[in-house]
């Protein structure tokens, strides 16, 4: 059974970088049949897809247009985990952040969610 | 990328059927058969109910069914039960190599 365990700070100061990690059990981050995603949810914007990383003989990343230039998603194969880095955060980035595993164009496994508040 | 459009809420009595629509464009819902549906009870992470328009993951009751016509996808819940009361979201892959979620629909069981 695949499980995702999120970790990271719940409070980030404006202009700093938000970094969250998603540890994978029951699967490999280097699997060539799945993708690893980050999604966030806020009352004002609902569910918002942020981006993904996936391995198909080499690593690929795709990011939401609205996030490009501020976001990086990377994988650590030695720790079997992947991470989200969002820089220059503002209070608009306050949200619950989820990681998720996608196969067959459906996100069947989700992390527990991390509430991140951007405030000084 | 604009969010897919869903009705804010739908309601039904136990045993009835309800259908949730999800309207996108020819660049997402209308282009690919890559629409998925998620149920989200309060305070929990979304749960996959349908993938690739009409496929149910293992463990999802056959009361849940999906379909698509043009730029609009639909989720139908038959034999509505109290436990079905939750928020439901659609999502689609897009021609921009991104994903987009719907605005969400609250299902109320009367």
Cα–Cα nearest to A38, from A46, A48, A23, A30: A48
pLDDT in tens, chain B (110 residues): 799 999 999 999 999 999 999 999 999 999 999 999 999 999 999 999 999 999 999 999 999 999 999 999 999 999 999 999 999 999 999 999 999 999 999 999 99
Provide the pLDDT for residue B1.
76
Q: Which residues of B touch A (CB under 8 A)?
A: 1, 3, 32, 34, 36, 38, 45-48, 50-52, 55, 57, 89, 91, 93, 96-104
**Structure confidence by residue, pLDDT tens digits, A20-55:** 999 999 999 999 999 999 999 999 889 999 999 999
> Measured between beta carbons, which residues in chain B are less than 8 angstroms from residue A5?
none
How many A×B Cβ pairs under 8 Å? 63
CB contact under 8 Å between B100 and A49, yes or no, is: yes
Provide the pLDDT for residue A76.
97
- When the pLDDT of each residue in chain A is averaged and rounded to a whole number, the result is 96
DSSP collapsed to 3 states, A44-93: CCEEEEEEEEEECCCEEEEECHHHCCCEEEEEECCCCEEEEEECCCCHHH
CA distance readout (Å), B19 to A23, B25, B47, B65, B70: 36, 19, 18, 9, 16
Gyration radius of chain A's alpha carbons: 14
Alpha-carbon distance A48 to nearest alpha carbon in chain B (angstroms): 6
């Amino acid at each position: 059974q695949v499980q995702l365990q999120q970790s990271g700070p719940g409070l980030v100061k404006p202009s700093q970088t938000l970094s969250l990690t998603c540890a994978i059990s029951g699967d490999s981050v280097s699997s060539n049949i799945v993708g690893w995603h980050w999604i966030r949810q806020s009352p004002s914007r609902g569910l918002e897809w942020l981006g993904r990383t996936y391995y198909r003989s080499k690593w690929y990343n795709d990011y939401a247009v609205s996030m490009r230039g501020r976001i990086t998603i990377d994988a650590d194969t030695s720790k079997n985990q992947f991470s989200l880095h969002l820089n220059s955060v503002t209070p608009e980035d306050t949200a619950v952040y989820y990681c998720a595993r996608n196969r067959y164009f459906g996100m069947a496994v989700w992390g527990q969610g991390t509430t991140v508040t951007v405030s000084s | 990328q604009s969010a897919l459009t869903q009705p804010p809420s739908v309601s039904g009595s136990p045993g009835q059927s309800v259908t949730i629509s999800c309207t996108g464009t020819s660049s997402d819902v209308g282009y690919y058969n890559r629409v998925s549906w998620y149920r989200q009870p309060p305070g929990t992470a979304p749960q996959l109910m349908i993938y690739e328009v009409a496929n149910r993951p293992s463990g999802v009751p056959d009361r849940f069914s999906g379909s698509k016509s043009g730029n609009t996808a639909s989720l139908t819940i038959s034999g509505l039960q109290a436990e079905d009361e939750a928020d439901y979201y659609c999502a689609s892959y897009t021609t921009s190599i991104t994903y987009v979620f719907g605005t969400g629909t609250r299902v109320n069981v009367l």
